[in-house]
Amino acid sequence: MSRTLPVNKNDYIDVVFEDITHDGAGVAKVEGYPLFIPNGLPGEKAKIKVIKTGKGYGIGRLIEIYEKSPYRVDIPSEEKHKYGGCQLEHISYKGQLKYKENQVRQVLTRIGKLEDVVVHPILGMEEPFHYRNKAQVPVGEKDGKLIAGFFKQRSHEIVDTNESLIQLPEVNEAVKVVKEICSELGIPAYQEESHKGVLRHIMARYGKQTEELMVVIITRTTDLPQKNKLVEEMVARLPKLKSIVHNVNSKRTNVIIGEKTNVLWGNEVIYDYIGDVKFAISTLSFYQVNPVQTKVLYDKALEYANLSGEENVIDAYCGIGTISLFLAQKAKKVFGVEVVPEAIEDAKRNAELNEITNAEFAAGEAEVVIPKWYKEGNTADVLVVDPPRKGCDEALLQTIIEMKPKKVVYVSCNPGTLARDLRILEDGGYRTVEVQPVDMFPMTTHVECCAWLERK
Ligand SMILES: C[S@@+](CC[C@H](N)C(=O)[O-])C[C@H]1O[C@@H](n2cnc3c(N)ncnc32)[C@H](O)[C@@H]1O
What CATH number is associated with residue 243? 2.40.50.1070
pLDDT in tens, 403-416: 999 999 999 999 99
Annotated catalytic residue 413: yes
pLDDT of residue 158 exceeding 80 = yes
Atom of ligand 1 nearest to the CA of 286: 27
pLDDT in tens, 391-443: 999 999 999 999 999 999 999 999 999 999 999 999 999 999 999 999 999 99
- The H-assigned helical ranges of 37-168 are 93-110
Q: What is the residue range of 355's domain?
A: 101-125+290-455
Q: Check whether residue 121 and residue 138 sit in a common domain.
A: no
Atom of ligand 1 nearest to the CA of 365: 20
Confidence of residue 155 (pLDDT cuts 50, 70, 90): confident
Q: Is residue 429 part of a domain?
A: yes
pLDDT for 87: 86
pLDDT average, residue stretch 173-197: 95
Q: Answer yes or no: is the C-beta of 87 below 6 A from any ligand 1 atom.
A: no
Q: Check whether residue 219 and residue 240 sit in a common domain.
A: yes
Residues above pLDDT 70, as percent of the chain = 99
pLDDT of residue 2 exceeding 60 = no
Q: Is residue 282 part of a domain?
A: no
Single out the catalytic residue among 318, 392, 413, 450: 413
Q: Is residue 72 part of a domain?
A: no
393 alpha carbon, distance to own chain's centre: 19
pLDDT for 162: 87
CATH number of the domain residue 17 falls in: 2.40.50.140
Q: How many residues does the chain have?
A: 456
pLDDT in tens, 78-110: 777 777 778 898 999 999 999 999 999 999 999
Q: Check whether residue 175 and residue 218 sit in a common domain.
A: yes
Confidence of residue 1 (pLDDT cuts 50, 70, 90): very low
Range from 59-63, 81-85, 197-201, 357-361 carrying the lowest mean pLDDT: 81-85
pLDDT for 9: 95
DSSP string, 147-191: EEEEEPTTS-PEEE-S--TTB-HHHHHHHHHHHHHHHHTTPPBPB
Longest dimension (CA), the chain: 71
What's the 273 CA to ligand 1 centre distance in angstroms?
Answer: 19
What's the 341 CA to ligand 1 centre distance in angstroms?
Answer: 11
Give the type of residue at 147: I
pLDDT of residue 58 exceeding 90 = yes
Confidence of residue 3 (pLDDT cuts 50, 70, 90): low
44 alpha carbon, distance to own chain's centre: 29
pLDDT for 163: 87
Q: Answer yes or no: is the C-beta of 343 below 6 A from any ligand 1 atom.
A: yes
Q: Answer yes or no: is the C-beta of 440 below 6 A from any ligand 1 atom.
A: no
Q: Nearest to residue 138, comparing CAs of 168, 179, 93, 166?
A: 179
Q: Check whether residue 22 and residue 112 sit in a common domain.
A: no
Indicate which residue's Cα is closest to atom 11 of ligand 1. 317
The backbone torsions φ and ψ at residue 160, rounded to the nearest 5 degrees and listed phi first, read: -80, 120
What's the 98 CA to ligand 1 centre distance in angstroms?
Answer: 28
pLDDT for 196: 93
Q: Is residue 412 part of a domain?
A: yes
Number of Cβ within 10 Å of residue 339's Cβ equals: 17
Give the separation between CA 386 and CA 382, rounded to whole angstroms: 13
Q: Check whether residue 388 and residue 270 sit in a common domain.
A: no
Q: List, in sequence order, every residue forming a beta bridge with 159; answer none if it has no partner.
A: 150
Q: Check whether residue 239 and residue 321 sit in a common domain.
A: no
Domain count, the chain: 3
Q: Is residue 281 part of a domain?
A: no
Last-in-domain residue among 52, 67, 82: 67
Q: Nearest to residue 440, comparing CAs of 421, 417, 420, 412?
A: 412
Q: Answer yes or no: is the C-beta of 339 below 6 A from any ligand 1 atom.
A: yes
pLDDT for 76: 77
What's the 240 CA to ligand 1 centre distance in angstroms?
Answer: 28
pLDDT of residue 152 exceeding 90 = no
140 DSSP assignment? E
Give the type of residue at 331: A
Give the type of residue at 8: N
